[in-house]
A and B are shown apart, each in its own frame.
Chain A
């Protein structure tokens, strides 16, 4: 299979078309309902642009039902399915490190006055608590969710919880450490 680069938006739309044949407006509704814009940039007009690209690449085909007002309905092709599987495996199996601003902050820790440094770390902890609460509200608002999406929320919640534990530990340590101004 030739290697084909897909943008995040293309992969997203291809996956939705793989579930069942859908037309552009329906895709817009599903993307909105599932809150997919929280992690992908895809505008309403770009859905049609993306569909056009997928069709041209042979990853999706359009059926136009009879009737003048009929909307094109897109379904996935075998080539499209192969690309979807390959890219999804790559996304899941390939680890792509992301760098937190906490790293940059810690690197220059000695440049900070003590109270400001400890205060900033505390503020970070509070921001994370708010984000955890927000995620829980989003999760509750999207019920029902299939188990693999629950697992996706567990992933984000777990990352935030790990960071919070790190903040608590680091604060406790730094507070007891003699501070040289």
Chain B
């Protein structure tokens, strides 16, 4: 799906309200992605994000010149999962698996992507093996906007998993997802916006 042609959907997906969890249907979208393991805030996570942004720079620039003032910058998104989901809840980060990703414009093809990756490799040297372009559909998800420091997230997730999902007869289905709308090196902790998203399925 080309989100740039559907502003209402773009807003629904990336700008939910801060008050209540809402359900959305996330269509198939193309991403540049890198997979990793362990605490994402340590070197590997930051390096993955740097590699992604460097790799997609020529594509972003192309998008900027094609779209002019209707260009929207795509944010960094992270999927988190653990083989034993309790490791996610208890914050046992050594066991976390994550995927760093950024949506790319719908006109991006494999040739354009591999050219961009080759340029990034000249700049940064070795890139993670898992760097690739991939499309996928998250489907039905519950999500909310959180504005503020990361330490307030566990209370929100508690509300999601123990109240909102059971009340709506839903269960988690797939990796927990965070979307970071601000550059943390430029925005103060109390002003950082992020979308917290969880794919769901009907309760068995």
Interface residues, chain A, with chain B CB atoms under 8 Å away: 19-21, 30, 33, 137, 139-141, 143-144, 146-147, 150
Contact = CB atoms under 8 A, between A and B. Distances in A.
B64 A143 contact: no
Given A19-B188, A20-B189, A144 B183 contact: yes
A139 B49 CA distance: 16
Given A140-B54, A140-B57, A146 B119 contact: no
Please indicate which of the listed interface residues B76, B124, B185, B189 has the most CB atoms of chain A within 10 Å of its own CB. B185
Interface of B: 49-50, 53-54, 57, 64, 71, 73, 76, 119-120, 123-124, 183, 185-189
Contacts of A146: 73, 183, 186
B64 A20 contact: no
Contacts of A140: 54, 57, 119-120, 123
17 contacts: A19-B188, A20-B189, A140-B119, A140-B123, A141-B123, A141-B124, A143-B50, A143-B54, A143-B57, A144-B49, A144-B53, A144-B76, A144-B183, A146-B73, A146-B183, A146-B186, A150-B64
A137 B57 CA distance: 11
Given A140-B123, A141-B123, A147-B73, A19 B187 contact: yes
B57 A30 contact: no
Contacts of A147: 71, 73
B120 to A, nearest CB: 8
A137 B54 CA distance: 11
